[in-house]
Structures are given as C-alpha cells and as structure tokens.
Amino acid sequence: MPNPALLEFARTPENPTIRYKRKHIPTPAIDQAIHDAYQKQRRGDRNALHEVSKKIGWTRSAVCKRGAELGITRTKERRWSAVEEELIERFGHLAPSGIRRQLARAGFSRSVSAIQMRLNRNRIKQNLCGYSANSLANALGVDVHKILIWIKRGLLSAERRGTDRTQSQGGDTWWISDRAVKRFVFRAPEEIDLARVEKIWFLDLLTGGKIGVQRLCA
C-alpha cells in the first residue's frame, strides 16, 4: 500500500486523481518540503531530514541526493581557484555530475552540491544557448531519430551532458551548441527542409541573433 503522504506530495494539477507512482519523483511540493527540512536542520533540528523522509515516502539517501541537486546541502566551501572558475564556465552546459568529472580530470575535487551552488551563485544557467536532441528536432521540424542519425554520421557535433541517467531511462542526453547547428546547416544544407523549420528561429541562428527572438535553449 503506498504511503498516503507520498500520494499527497506526488499529486499534480495534471494528475489530480493520482495513482501509485514510483518513488523519488521530485515535484515542487516535495522540493519545498526538502528545502524546509534543510532550513530546520540548520536551526538545530537533527531529525529534520528523517522526518521529511517519512513525510514524502523517500529514503534518507534520496532526500540527500535531491538536496544536493537543489544546491541546498550544507558544505564548507573551499575557495574556488581561477582555473576552476574557468572550467565551470566552459562546461556549464553539462549536468553538475558531468562538471564534477571535468574538474576531476583537471585535478580538482568538488562535490555535486558544491558545483550546483556555484552555478547558482554565478547565475550560470547551463551554458547557454544550446539544444537537446529533442528541442533541436522540434526547431528543425524533424523526428528526433533524424538528429541522432546526423550525430552518428558526424554531420552534427554534439556532446554528452554527463548526467547520471541509466540506459533504462534512455541514457545520457545530448547537448548541441548554436555553433554546431550553424556548422551543420552550412555543411549539409540538403538535410534541411526549409518548409518545416521554425523560420524566425532559423534566421536568428544564421544572423547571430540579429532577429532578436527568444532562443530555444535546452
């Protein structure tokens, strides 16, 4: 029998008559409960995380992991070096876990929560502008599988975001920069169906933003 508290917190406007849902799916209500628990912990309530775990039906480790993703866990932060700041800016399009791996390759050790806090503090919003395979497919008016074929053939440059998604969840996601899309357009114009693309976005891309529309960031 599912935890009633979990059902309460898992209910969304899109799902008013919630059925049993698998555990550890964050919602705004769950995130707020976790945030409040960390606030209580900072004020000296040692049972705050245990209580919120029971309330939302999550394990303690899942609560801590979500807290790290939200950047609200307590850490004693070491001073960030200029090289680390440069790396976090360069790889801001990656997930925090991916940035952590890039820092480790350069000889630096930072936790995921420390990286998320730094991203928040520096107002780095996943670097900025780029596209997921799905969002680029929507912009070009093609099926996402066509995007993946272009990547596989080497026509379209793309990077993995370094997320922790498992194969059963679809695997790591792609990130494709504006520059890579523009190179692809000039390299393989025969692949583009101008009748299907988002025309204003497409002109904005080719003119370097002179059209002034809102970019379709992933």
In a domain, 213, yes or no: no
Report the predicted TM-score, pTM, of the whole model to 2 decimal places: 0.43
pLDDT tier, 150 (very low <50, low <70, confident <90, very high otherwise):
very high
Where residue 139 falls (left for φ over 0; alpha for ψ -120 to 50; beta otherwise) is alpha
Q: What is the 3-state secondary structure (H, E, C) of 160-204?
A: ECCCCCCHHHCCCCEEEEHHHHHHHHHHCHHHCCCCCCCHHHHHH
Does 197 lie in the same domain as 155? Answer: yes
Do 15 and 43 lie in a common domain? yes
Q: Do both 165 and 100 map to the same domain? A: no
Check residues 68 and 165 and name the one with the higher pLDDT.
68
Amino acid at 141: G
Residues 51 and 8 in one domain: yes
Parent domain of 110? 82-122
In this structure, the answer to whether residues 152 and 202 fall within a common structural domain is: yes
Q: Is residue 76 part of a domain?
A: no
- Quote the pLDDT of residue 185: 94
Report whether 176 contacts 158 (CB < 8 A).
yes
Angle between helices 28-42 and 48-56 (to 10 degrees): 160
Question: Quick check: 30 and 62 in contact, CB under 8 A?
Answer: no
Assess whether 142 and 165 both reside in one domain. yes
Q: What is the pLDDT of residue 187?
A: 93
Residues 150 and 177 in one domain: yes
Assess if residue 49 is contained within a domain.
yes
User: Which residues, 6+ apart, have CB-to-CB distance to 35 below 8 Å?
Assistant: 70, 72
Q: Does residue 153 lie in a domain region? A: yes
Predicted confidence band at 191 (pLDDT cuts at 50, 70, 90)?
very high
Would residue 182 count as lying in a domain?
yes
Other beta carbons within 10 angstroms of residue 147's beta carbon come to: 24
In a domain, 214, yes or no: no
How confident is the model over 157-185, as pLDDT tens digits?
998 876 666 666 666 778 888 889 999 99
Q: 197 and 163, same structural domain?
A: yes
- Say what the pLDDT of residue 164 is: 62
Look at residue 53 and give its three-state secondary structure. helix
CB-CB contact of 38 with 27 (8 Å): no
What integer pLDDT is reported at residue 52 of this predicted model?
92
* Whole-angstrom distance, CA of residue 39 vs CA of residue 42: 5
Same domain, 202 and 141: yes
Instruction: Grade residue 75 by pLDDT with cuts at 50, 70 and 90.
Output: low
Report the domain count for the chain.
Answer: 3
| Structural domain ending residue among the three candidates 90, 122, 154 | 122
Does the pLDDT at position 4 exceed 80?
no
Name the region of 40 (left: φ>0; alpha: ψ -120 to 50; beta: rest): alpha
Q: Are residues 154 and 200 in the same domain?
A: yes
What would the pLDDT profile of 124-148 be if each residue is shown by its tens digit?
444 445 787 888 888 899 999 999 9
